[in-house]
Amino acid sequence: MLFKPKSTPIYLARIIFLQNSQRNLSTKSSHYSRKNIDDDDKDQKTRDTKEDQQDHLYLYKSKGQHLLTNTRILDAIVRRSNIRPTDTVLEIGPGTGNLTVKLLEAAKKVVAIEIDKRMVDILHKRVSEKGLQDRIHVICKDAMKAEFPQFDLVVANIPYGISSPLVAKLVYGGNPFRSATLLLQKEFARRLLAKPGDSEFNRLAVNVKLVADVEFVMDVSKREFLPCPKVDSSVVIIRPKAEVPDVNLDEWWAFTRTCFSKKNKTLGATFKQKKKVIELLRLAKTTSTNRENTIIGKNHECGDDYDGSHEEEDTDGDVGFASSCSVVEMTLFKENIVGILKTGGFEDKRPSKLSNEELLHLLSLFNQAGIYFHDHVNPKDSDNVSFAAAYSS
Ligand code: SAH
């Protein structure tokens, strides 16, 4: 079978020329011949040989390799990030270092996480040539698997493929930071900025808004990237909120997942689904049993299951559970759910029109009635189980 590589050959001379266009530098592109092999890509070896011979660099669409080459925009991103000379800046996906060198000029230190070893090599060389190597720490890893060190700010033109989990990792990851200035796909940025009632408003916006504020900075045309992607981009600044509502985040994610499972359906329609009723009844029973056991000092392990939030459960269990419940019990439970929705005036509301305050109020009404939410997550599946749970759909 003929293999058509999903990558674009970009001549290094052109990249470096654009990178240094301000200083009008000419480039010894041979300086950047490729030596490392990316183990992940089977066809990489062939390309490396080609790259050595022809002195160009393949950029992978699969890795979101679109380099931002406009110095004016790079400067604007750095300026809007309000970097202090004492700051450590985290950059995800530095690529060939267009933004990195500018960050190094403004910050005390840059920690750059880059998945592609070829990029890491180029970055090291470029930074060393400028004598800035002592202030950079490059981690050659998948940013979604890497443990983030302490940082004050994030400034990055990220690979768009990891936008959702990365934003979740930043805002829910437990690392305190001042702000994250991110270049994102325009549509994704619009969703982060959306307000209740906007057509783009969805669960992502709801979950991010719970813990952070998002500010629009500017749109960036696709023509500013090399190679030119299919989509336009926008820069936004995400600032963690000083005060976050007192809510169990695992439960919040599970709750918003249920509410937004059909974002244009009314909450009445979503919560009356038989499958949902069974799931919530099962959880209500488990939770109340666990709570009783905890209170009377028995079976502490079960009590921990709910609070620990990562109990491995299978949704198939709901089927067996359903057959063990009487019709009366299910009917009463469903009426209870509908009663709660009616009391709060939520039955005919659509989740995409509700503010976080309203959603938090609904969750508290459910909790007061002994109804809880919990995602089915296997903790062994992912290093970042909470983020995966928050954003897998
Ligand atoms: N910031 C640079 C490059 C952007 S291209 C610039 O503006 O010019 C995106 C970069 O992210 C690429 O270098 C790509 O190799 C890297 N990347 C892709 N997936 C990644 C991941 N999961 N973790 C870390 N880096 C990643």
- For the Cβ of 144 lying below 6 angstroms from any atom of ligand 1, the answer is yes
Which residue's CA is the nearest one to ligand 1's atom 7?
Answer: 68
Task: For residue 220, give the DSSP letter.
Answer: E
User: Comparing 281 with 220, which gets the higher pLDDT?
Assistant: 220
- For the Cβ of 97 lying below 6 angstroms from any atom of ligand 1, the answer is no
Which residue's CA is the nearest one to ligand 1's atom 13?
Answer: 95
pTM: 0.80
Ligand 1 centroid, distance to 120 Cα (angstroms): 10
Q: Which residues are annotated as a binding site?
A: 66, 68, 93, 114, 142, 157
C-beta separation of 177 from 151 below 8 A = yes
In this prediction, residue 376 carries a pLDDT of 65
pLDDT tens for 313-364 read: 445 566 666 667 778 888 999 999 999 999 999 999 999 999 999 999 999 9
- For the Cβ of 18 lying below 6 angstroms from any atom of ligand 1, the answer is no
pLDDT at 105 > cutoff 50: yes
Ligand 1 centroid, distance to 154 Cα (angstroms): 14
In this prediction, residue 369 carries a pLDDT of 93
Q: In angstroms, rounded to a whole number, what is the distance separating the alpha carbons of residues 122 and 114?
A: 11
Q: How confident is the model at residue 264 (pLDDT cuts 50, 70, 90)?
A: confident
Q: What structural domains does the chain harbor?
A: 63-240 (3.40.50.150), 249-390 (1.10.8.480)
- For the Cβ of 64 lying below 6 angstroms from any atom of ligand 1, the answer is yes
pLDDT at 277 > cutoff 70: yes
pLDDT at 266 > cutoff 60: yes
- For the Cβ of 157 lying below 6 angstroms from any atom of ligand 1, the answer is yes
- For the Cβ of 93 lying below 6 angstroms from any atom of ligand 1, the answer is yes
In this prediction, residue 339 carries a pLDDT of 96
Ligand 1 centroid, distance to 67 Cα (angstroms): 9
| Strand order from edge to edge, sheet including 233-240 | 136-140, 109-114, 88-92, 153-157, 179-185, 233-240, 212-220
Ligand 1 centroid, distance to 183 Cα (angstroms): 12
User: Comparing C-alpha atoms, which of 104, 81, 92 is closest to residue 178?
Assistant: 81
In this prediction, residue 56 carries a pLDDT of 79
pLDDT tens for 187-222 read: 999 999 999 999 999 999 999 999 999 999 999 999
Average pLDDT over residues 124-133: 96
- For the Cβ of 38 lying below 6 angstroms from any atom of ligand 1, the answer is no
Which residue's CA is the nearest one to ligand 1's atom 3?
Answer: 95
In this prediction, residue 2 carries a pLDDT of 44
Ligand 1 centroid, distance to 61 Cα (angstroms): 10
Q: Which residues are annotated as a binding site for S-adenosyl-L-methionine?
A: 66, 68, 93, 114, 142, 157
Q: In angstroms, rounded to a whole number, what is the distance separating the alpha carbons of residues 53 and 66?
A: 23
SS3 label, residue 140: strand
User: Comparing C-alpha atoms, which of 132, 124, 77, 56 is closest to residue 96?
Assistant: 124
SS3 label, residue 57: strand
- The half-sphere exposure of 166 on its side-chain side, counting CA atoms within 13 A, is 25
- For the Cβ of 126 lying below 6 angstroms from any atom of ligand 1, the answer is no
- For the Cβ of 354 lying below 6 angstroms from any atom of ligand 1, the answer is no
CA angle 240, 241, 242 (to 5 degrees): 120
User: Comparing 240 with 392, which gets the higher pLDDT?
Assistant: 240
pLDDT at 232 > cutoff 90: yes
Q: How confident is the model at residue 304 (pLDDT cuts 50, 70, 90)?
A: very low
Highest mean pLDDT range out of 22-36, 96-110, 304-318, 321-335? 96-110
Q: In angstroms, rounded to a whole number, what is the distance separating the alpha carbons of residues 339 and 345?
A: 10
Query: Range with the lowest mean pLDDT among 129-138, 273-282, 377-386?
Result: 377-386
In this prediction, residue 316 carries a pLDDT of 58
Average pLDDT over all residues of the chain:
81
- For the Cβ of 374 lying below 6 angstroms from any atom of ligand 1, the answer is no
Q: How confident is the model at residue 18 (pLDDT cuts 50, 70, 90)?
A: very low
Please state whether the peptide bond connecting residue 227 to the residue before it is cis, i.e. omega within 30 degrees of 0: yes
Percent of the chain with pLDDT over 90: 64
Ligand 1 centroid, distance to 113 Cα (angstroms): 8
Query: Range with the lowest mean pLDDT among 151-165, 168-182, 308-322, 340-354?
Result: 308-322
Q: Which segments of 233-296 does DSSP mark as H helices, in order?
A: 249-259, 267-271, 274-295
In this prediction, residue 51 carries a pLDDT of 52
- For the Cβ of 224 lying below 6 angstroms from any atom of ligand 1, the answer is no
CA-66 nearest atom, ligand 1: 5
User: Comparing 39 with 74, which gets the higher pLDDT?
Assistant: 74
Q: Is the dihedral of CA 75, 78, 83, 89 positive or negative?
A: negative
Query: Range with the lowest mean pLDDT among 74-78, 192-196, 299-303, 343-347?
Result: 299-303
CA-159 nearest atom, ligand 1: 9
